[in-house]
């Protein structure tokens, strides 16, 4: 089963296009969990979040930065967290890798073979040879950064290049490179007009990963209406902090579930 098949199956099963980001920053985890488990609080926190939300999502996204910052124990927690997620739910590595071909090949091997992620975010700024090793894994998916959700995105991504913004060129390349149906794009909910334009550029068959709702302030309704394809699918709406840290009390997992369920249901309403 390739990434798109797995994604669609999970979305049908859970009636959801919500992706929960496991951006589990140690310092933001409830105090009582940290006091009991120390650094391994990240793993115990993730376990509770996954158990509380796995029937509400189409995917999980793991931001590697919050694990790498903990050193070797963080990489152990990353691997163990990956094992916790039910096999039928796709897992995206939010790694934003991008380097010359031989280095990219090592990144792809680590993410897709060792950690067994189903997809990864990739920075395409260095051109096709820097993402080609990821695309050799036809059953996986490489999500190319196109128009990101952060305020500084416009510094470069909206620069006029040969008559149109750089992000549009990247979107066009993503469609051109999608010969194996294993390319996706990342476009932030904080840029709804750009999101709509990118959907038109890449067409109906490419998944769009949409960060920026919740803590970053992206408008959920506009994000949904501008990102889904004509069949109301293939937009992965991601939320991290607004779900993970919905409560700092002993009910944190239940609060995360409530926040995830409300988001999932709102996404479905706006899709309709």
Alpha-carbon distance of 40 to 85, in angstroms, equals 17
Distance CA(247)–CA(211), nearest Å, equals 21
Among residues 96, 109, 225, 258, the one annotated as catalytic is: 96
Quote the CA–CA distance of 203 and 74 in Å, as a whole number. 38
Handedness of CA 154, 156, 158, 160 (dihedral sign): positive
- Known catalytic membership, residue 96: yes
H runs (alpha helix) in the chain: 3-14, 31-37, 41-53, 65-68, 72-84, 101-109, 128-135, 154-157, 166-177, 192-202, 220-227, 241-244, 252-271
Structure tokens at 119: 């997809």
Active-site residue numbers?
A: 96
């Amino acid at each position: 089963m390739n990434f798109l098949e797995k994604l669609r199956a999970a979305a049908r099963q859970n009636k959801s296009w919500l992706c929960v980001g496991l951006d589990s920053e140690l310092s933001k985890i409830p105090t009582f969990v940290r006091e009991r488990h120390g650094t391994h609080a990240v793993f115990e926190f993730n376990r509770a979040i996954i158990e509380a939300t796995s029937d509400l999502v189409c995917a999980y996204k793991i931001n590697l930065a919050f694990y790498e910052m903990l050193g070797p124990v963080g990489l152990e927690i990353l691997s163990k967290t990956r094992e916790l997620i039910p096999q039928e739910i796709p897992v995206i590595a939010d790694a934003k890798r991008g380097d010359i071909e031989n280095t990219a090949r090592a990144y792809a091997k680590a993410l897709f073979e060792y950690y067994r992620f189903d997809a990864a975010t990739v920075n395409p700024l260095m051109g096709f040879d820097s993402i080609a090793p990821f695309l050799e894994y036809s059953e996986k998916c490489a999500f190319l950064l196109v128009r990101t959700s952060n305020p500084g995105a416009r510094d470069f991504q909206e620069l006029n290049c040969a008559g149109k913004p750089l992000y549009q060129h990247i979107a066009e390349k993503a469609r051109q490179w999608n010969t194996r149906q294993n390319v996706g794009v990342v476009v932030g909910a904080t840029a709804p007009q750009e999101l709509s334009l990118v959907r038109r550029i890449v067409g109906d068959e490419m998944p769009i990963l949409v960060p920026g709702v919740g803590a970053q302030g992206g408008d959920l309704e506009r994000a949904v209406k501008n990102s889904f394809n004509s069949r109301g699918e293939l937009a992965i709406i991601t939320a991290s902090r607004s779900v993970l840290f919905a409560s700092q009390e002993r009910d944190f997992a239940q609060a995360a579930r409530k926040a995830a369920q409300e988001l999932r249901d709102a996404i479905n309403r706006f899709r309709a």
